Structure 1
Amino acid sequence: MSLLYPDFLWALLLNIIPIFIHLFNLQKHETIYFSDVSLLKSIEEKTKRKSQLKNILLLISRILFVSSVVIAFCFPYKKDQKIDLLKDLNKVGIYIDNSFSMSRSYQNQTLLESAKDDAIKLIDNLPDETKYVLTTNIKKNNKQYFIDNNEIKKEIINLKTTAQTLTISEALEIQHEQLNLEKLNSFWFTDLQENTLDLDKIKDKSIIKNINILQYGSSSNENISIDSVWFNKNNRTINNNENLNVKITNHSVEEVEFQTKLNINNGEVLNQSFNKINPKESKEIKFDYSVSEKGIKSGLISLINPPNNELLFDDKYFFSYMLEEKFTIVNIHQGENKSNKSIESLFKSVEKTNYKNIDINNGITIQDLNAELIILNKLSNIDKKTLQLLSSSSKRKSILIFPSLSVDVDYKDLYKILGIKSSEIINLKLELDIESIDLSFFKNIFSNYNQNLDLPYFNKYLKIQNLYNPINYINLSNAEPLLSKYSFKNNDFYFFTSNLSREYSNFSQHALFVPILLRIKEKSANDITSQVSINDLENFKINQAIQQNGNIKITNDLSEPTYSFFPLISSSSGSSSLYIKDMIESTGHYFIYNNDSLVNGFSVNNSKSESKMAFSSSKELNTELENLDLNDKIHYWDIKQNKYPELIKNNDKNLEYWIYFIFISLICLILEIIIIKKLT
């Protein structure tokens, strides 16, 4: 006979209680002398024998009662001696899919618990000397050495669901490394979600000797999930209306009524929405709100007890963004420049915008460049010193360039970092090409313009030859670019090939001037939402140059953190990358501190691939196995159809011996009552 939970045998120490009671009943009493005690001696002798018998029987019954209850809780069973499958194996791999989809229920038990039970049955039917490796979706917990049957049972019993997922090819490679690159003899317990089935990506089929895949399924595959959140505009402002969009998907076959709740910074913003969603459809719902203070905003969207919902992990969605008090714009010019007035009148009229003009003839400093948007307006020379100042500031920034169209300009250093081979001044009157405008960049700006629109003209511009392909947002009527975006060292360069001088263009007086420059300002904002899937955690970039000197820490709460760690950091060109791979296991908000100063924050969400209730069928899997010539190496078992490998199936009847020990304990309890009544 074997025990499923042998560690509980420590409870046999409770037998010391009836032993103490027995010893207490054996204590000696005071002797009193009488003249004639023959009758008393006779009575005493009979009573003593009866009492001794009673005490011994009570001791035995109580010890049997305690022992039976303890052994019952150890879950005893007897190994089936007839099983002789895989007896030659001494190393076995076990993979248990502990992703969130395995938290669905079937026959009053989660799929994960069923898989754990079956894995333990398998282990109990293999020889005691068998060595194991256990693979789960939590990569950092997968041991790179073999463990025995008792240790793997403990790990299986303690296994919990996780947001992390593995595809079949990933699980195979991990387990191959765990087995010291030996061929796989494995049992895999999974629900085979479609997004994990990638047999075609197995690099080396020869590493597989024999894999048994056991698929678990639920009787109901209903779910409703929060897929994503986004704002209509890039930049966030204080005391202004924000438009937050939330995408909800109904994965069930029935219409669902649901309530959605918005909570920002633990009550700074509270809002809710009631909606209906059709089966197998997605719906966008909107929240309008405003905030009154700057700083990090940590938002949570949650579904409140929706019906037809098998999975709960995707009922919450976390997002964060940084709200600056003001947006700073610096216009750098050279001497007197009449076009400054057009730029200044535009941006000084925009709320929460800090605008300033700087004459480069008076010199510039790093402090001057502490801005989100920097305009280089008709500078005759953009040298290395200026470019170094632009890239040395800790803030991520956008640089808008209106070039000088004089023949004596010197842009060779600028062209070098942007990948521009050469430029040529062209004197030709051309209009802006409305058909060339990138509508994904200028969203909602040009939707109302018609073909008869009076377009701005340009009679002088730079013809650019690029070494690489920039992003072109607007062209001239001859297909030459008018506005392009280049990137260098975390900065975006918006390059107009003409400028705002009235002798060359009427663009600064045209109706398109305002929306185009405002969209560039909006795209330059640093307050975009920060949200990442837990499966995509690699590096988190912040727009500051910091070093890990023991002061940079990431925590999971502002006031009472329960988890924190010190990330590895690499810094260059005014920005830093924080290495967070395998450091975060749960969703939520995370905050970056430099000593006691809050630097930034980000939010982590579960993988949305788990939300879709789509699972591979036996037909699909077997067809793919046959097409890839893997049907002799990988074997499929449908647990819902009660199809098990023989090693697991034959053990089902043996795991019920605990009930006999419960009966024994009840019999002992009844015997104790009878002994007390009859022998008293």
Structure 2
Amino acid sequence: MKFLYPEFLWAFAVLLIPILIHLFNFKRYKTHYFSSLQFIKHVDQQTKSTQKLKHLLVLLARLLAFAGLVLAFAQPYFPNSDTETLKKENIVMIYLDNSFSMQARGVEGELLSSAKETAQSIVEKAPKGTQFIVGTNEMSGIEQRRINRIDALDKIDKIDYSPLTRSLDEIIDWKQQTIKKIDIDESKSFVQSVILSDFQRHGSNKKDRLKLSSFEFHPVQLIPEETANIFIDSVWFSSPIRKVGEKHELNIRLFNTSDQDLKNVEVTVKVDRFNKSFYTDIPANGKKETSLTYSDKSVGWKSGKVTVADEHVIFDDTYYLSYEVKEHANVLVLNGEDAIRNVRVVLDLEDYYLVEENKISAITLDNFKNKDLVIINGANTLSSGVINYLTEFNENGGSLSLFPGKSPDKSAWNQLLGKLKLPLMGGKISSGTLIKSLNYDDPFIRDIISSKSERLNLPSVVSSYQPIVGSSSNYKTLITMQNGLPLLAYSKPKGTAYMFYSSIHPDFGVFASDALFSTCILRMSELSQRGQPIALTIGNESTYPVYADNIGEEVIHLSKDKLDFIPQRTSRSGITYISLSQFDKFEQLFAGNYSIDASSNLGILSLNYHRKESTLNYLSEIEIKNRFTERGATNVSFASIDGVNSPIGDLSIDKPFSYWKLFLILTLIFVISEMLLVRFWKS
């Protein structure tokens, strides 16, 4: 037998007190006067023997009662050698899933609150001297440290929701890494691992087995009352064009994971000064795409959010977005040997376009800075430097419009076209070059020509260059000639690249004088606006371009409310990109619209939570146990919290069996026995 609090055993010395009391108390005598002493000897002998027995029993009851009380405070126990708790060090690892799916409500409130209460109860009931490791979805090195009872309770109390999600395999791997890091000696330690989670079904299954046979695992699944959820999956604009006074069509995709059709679900859109609510229906276990239109009244950065009414899981009920309404679009026209004036004339029709013209043979990288569209106007030769400038500009999201001259250098042009995933340029052909049709299915054509018509008076070209489709070509045709070959095609490796497989010089026809040419130039310019994505997802690896002049080496900050941090930044072709992929404090990020600042404001970045856990789909008990078994665990004890069952009583966190309650009961029994002896045993 061992004692949890052996210092209380010194209290046995106090047992001398009742012994002394009894010794002195029993020596008191009283004088009685009798008229006759005939029977006094017989009565005296009978009284002395009875009193002595009574006094001894009372003394024994008091001594046993006090001894039982001392032992109850000392908390004796017998170590259980079968579970190896004779090992001196007891370590309890508690992993608490704090992802947003834990917002789902159980009978007693949100699952995260129930998990925290369960974890605190486990810590409080653990044997004295137990060390704890408390982990969350952060999985940081700080969480791999051993802490005492007080620090563990404080850590659990401060746990809040995190945008990070972890699969069961990631949790098992983290626990194995933690065990290795703290260098646990299996011969001297007994490790028990508790996992409190709803066990969402996501993440790939790993097959590698770990050395987990010497550890006990206690997965505790928290089960919500309902698995239904309404959430906003994504938001996007139908067109990349955003001008003052023009209508924007905002599309919203909603999901309903319940088994019932939902009627009149409220959706609210707030962007800048625009605020509108509407109602829509969402089918059971299905999605609904809806849209609305509005217009911006001024230039500048706009931010807002789309919200759906839901009372169950709320982290995915709001989608934040931001964008810039520009005052101008910047166009660079590079004139070659066979350039024509029509290009500049068409662009000058609208004040929205700021046009810069240069000779293609005299450009530098600075000419491409902050440009949305670059037009090659009648160039025959392309130097390797120009090809590199153009491809790099396109890779950074810039748009290209390519109009070759009358005698193009096919080798140089095909080098450029190959990098842009466009068909290569072949020999000149003159048959079947009349324009046959337009691709009305493509938004480029569909949004500028309201209805399909076979009676359009389409222009023609005298000759064209035969497109040669290669294995790497990935393009779409906008204008088709009668010979079935494309006259105008485009690809979109990063930015959009348009290729006209003829020349706009008058020697090749009257295409450049037709309204279709003007329409195509303006449409290319309109669609070329290099805007940033309207939002990024926290946890995804993605970059965000910052189109601003003279940033230089200035430090860029992202800030919202009290949160202010410096994102990772890179520069390519004069464009600065910021990224959150190297940010090591994702748990501190929250969804919202963040201000991008250096010495001045550079824009707005919207962040949203990942929708990975929006569909509430959970692993079963058998699946959870199988995952542990497949990874090498042999001792797994499963429990669940569903509002009816609580794991606190059933959770077999092994610890030595203590007997303090038994001794407390025995103390009460001896106290009552002493009272009965004194009260009812008359002399």
Give the TM-score normalised by structure 1. 0.70
User: Using the alignment, how far apart are the partners of 2:281 and 2:78 within structure 1?
Assistant: 57
Give, as a single letter, the amino acid of the residue that structure 1 aligns with 2:559.
T
Structure 1: distance between partners of 2:401 and 2:502: 12
Aligned to 1:201: 206
User: What CA distance in whole angstroms lies between the structure 2 residues aligned with 1:548 and 1:241?
Assistant: 36
Q: Which of 581, 590, 595 does residue 591 from structure 1 map onto?
A: 595
**Alignment pair present for 1:501 and 2:502:** no
Aligned mates of 1:301, 1:86 — CA distance in 2: 57
Q: What is residue 296 of structure 2 aligned with on the other side? A: 291
| Local SS of the residue matching 2:116 | helix
1:117-156 matches, cutoff 5 A: 117-140=117-140, 143-156=143-156
Instruction: Show the counterpart of 2:402.
Output: 401
Query: Which region of structure 1 is more displaced relative to structure 2, 86-95 or 524-533?
Result: 86-95
Instruction: Indicate the residue corresponding to 2:641 in structure 1.
Output: 639
Mapped to 2, the partners of 1:175 and 1:419 lie a distance apart of: 47
Q: Does 1:460 align with 2:468?
A: no
The secondary structure found in structure 1 opposite 2:647 is: coil
User: Please, which of 249, 271, 275 is the counterpart of residue 270 of structure 1?
Assistant: 275
CA drift of 1:378 comes to: 1.5
Render the CA deviation track for 1:343-376: whole Å, top value 9, x for unaligned: 4455444573334554557877835864211100
| 1:594 CA drift (Å) | 1.8
Match of 2:323 among 321, 335, 338: 321
1:258 and 2:265 are equivalent in the alignment:
yes
1:527 corresponds to which of 526, 531, 535: 531
How many residues of Structure 1 are paired with residues of Structure 2 in the alignment?
A: 562
Cα distance, 1:227 vs. partner?
1.9
Q: Distance in 1 between matches of 2:137 and 2:441?
A: 42
Q: Tell me the percent identity.
A: 20
Equivalences for residues 1-400 of structure 1 within 5 A: 87=85, 88=87, 90-140=90-140, 143-180=143-180, 185-195=192-202, 198=204, 200-201=205-206, 203-206=208-211, 209-252=215-258, 253=260, 255-265=262-272, 268-303=273-308, 306=309, 309-334=311-336, 337-338=339-340, 340-341=341-342, 343-344=343-344, 346-349=346-349, 352-355=352-355, 357-360=357-360, 366-367=366-367, 370-387=370-387, 397-400=398-401
TM-score (norm 2): 0.70
Structure 1 residues 550 and 78 mapped into 2: Cα distance closer, same or farther (>3 Å)? farther
Structure 1 residue 157: Cα displacement: 1.3
- SS at 1:115 equivalent: helix
1:242-263 CA distance string (max 9 Å, x none): 2212222233335243332222
Measure, in 1, the Cα distance between the counterparts of 2:356 and 2:116: 66
Which residue identity lines up with residue 188 of structure 1 in the other structure?
I
Return the alpha-carbon distance in structure 1 between the equivalents of residues 349 and 577 of structure 2: 36
* Equivalent runs, 1:545-564 vs 2, <5 Å: 549=553, 551-556=555-560, 561-564=561-564
Measure the CA separation in 2 of the matches of 1:78 and 1:159. 34
**Counterparts of 2:84 and 2:460, CA distance in 1:** 81
Cα distance between partner residues in 2 of 1:327 and 1:257: 41
Alpha-carbon offset, residue 225 of structure 1:
1.7
Contact 1:80 1:125 in 2 (8 A): no
- Equivalent in the alignment of 2:544: 540
One-letter amino acid matched to 1:286: S
For 1:397, the aligned partner's letter is: G
Compared CA separation, residues 551 and 80, structure 1 to 2 (3 A): farther
Q: Give the 5 Å matches for 1:657-672.
A: none
Check the 8 A contact 1:405/1:462 in 2, yes or no.
no
Take 2:423 and 2:252, find their aligned partners in 1: how far apart are those partners?
A: 44
The AA in structure 2 aligned to 1:485 is: S
- What corresponds to 2:667 in structure 1? none
Counterpart AA for 2:124: D
* Cα RMSD, aligned residues only: 4.3
Specify the SS of the correspondent of 1:521: helix
Residue of structure 1 equivalent to 2:619: 616
Summarize deviations over 1:220-242 as a string: whole Å, max 9, x none: 23332222211111111012222
> What letter corresponds to residue 222 of structure 1 in structure 2?
A
Judge which range, 607-616 or 350-359, deviates more.
350-359
Aligned equivalents of 1:98 and 1:272: distance in 2? Answer: 32
Contact 1:507/1:513, CA 8 A, preserved across alignment: yes
Task: Describe the SS at the equivalent of 2:597.
Answer: strand
Worse overlay, 642-651 or 394-403: 642-651
**1:190 Cα offset (Å):** 0.7
Deviation, 1:447, is 9.6
Q: Which moved more, 1:285-294 or 1:384-393?
A: 384-393
- Rounded to whole Å, the distance in 2 between the matches of 1:222 and 1:550 is 47
8 A contact 1:591–1:601 mirrored in 2: yes
When residues 142 and 271 of structure 1 are mapped into structure 2, their CA distance, relative to the original with a 3 A threshold, is farther
Aligned residue number for residue 567 of structure 1: 567
**Could you say what secondary structure the match of 2:162 adopts?**
coil
String of CA shifts for 1:489-548, please: whole Å, max 9, x gaps. Answer: x76543333333354456556776566555543442123542111121554333458778
The one-letter amino acid of 2:146's match is F
Q: Give the residue type in structure 2 aligned to 1:610.
A: E
* 8 A Cα contact 1:370 1:393, kept in partner: no
Match among 602, 605, 617 for residue 605 of structure 2: 602
Q: Is the 8 A contact 2:237 2:251 kept in 1?
A: yes
Q: Shift of the alpha carbon at 1:218?
A: 1.6
Task: Select the structure of larger CA radius of gyration.
Answer: 2
* TM-fit CA distance, 1:591: 1.8
Residues 592, 608 of structure 2: 8 Å contact kept:
yes
What amino acid does structure 2 have at the position aligned with 1:382?
A: L
Mean Cα deviation higher: 140-149 or 544-553: 544-553
Q: Which runs of 5+ in 2 are unaligned?
A: 5-72, 185-190, 662-683
Q: Structure 1 residue 379: deviation in Å?
A: 0.9
For residues 533 and 419 of structure 1, what CA distance do their matches in structure 2 show?
29
Which whole-Å CA distance do the structure 2 matches of 1:83 and 1:282 have between them?
58
CA contact (8 A) 1:369 1:390 kept: no
Q: Given that residues 439 and 446 in structure 1 are in contact (C-alpha distance below 8 angstroms), is that contact kept between their aligned partners in structure 2?
A: no
Residue ranges of structure 1 left out of the alignment (5+ in a row): 3-76, 658-680
Which residue type is aligned with residue 236 of structure 2?
A: W
Note the C-alpha offset of 1:298: 1.1
User: SS in structure 2 opposite 1:176?
Assistant: helix
Answer whether contact 1:373 1:399 (CA < 8 A) is retained.
yes
CA contact (8 A) 1:137 1:165 kept: yes
Q: Distance in 1 between matches of 2:218 and 2:472?
A: 51
Task: Name the structure 1 match of 2:17.
Answer: none
The 3 A distance-change label for structure 1 pair 408 and 310 is closer
1:2-56 per-position Cα deviation (integer Å, ceiling 9, x unaligned): 9xxxxxxxxxxxxxxxxxxxxxxxxxxxxxxxxxxxxxxxxxxxxxxxxxxxxxx
Distance 2:455 2:466 in 1: 27
Provide closer, same or farther for how the CA distance between residues 453 and 633 of structure 1 changes in structure 2, counting only shifts above 3 A.
farther
Letter of the structure 1 residue corresponding to residue 249 of structure 2: N
Q: Structure 1 residue 469: deviation in Å?
A: 4.2
1:427-446 correspondence to structure 2 within 5 Å: 427-430=429-432, 439=442
The range that moved more, 315-324 or 498-507, is 498-507
- Offset of 1:147 from its aligned partner? 2.4
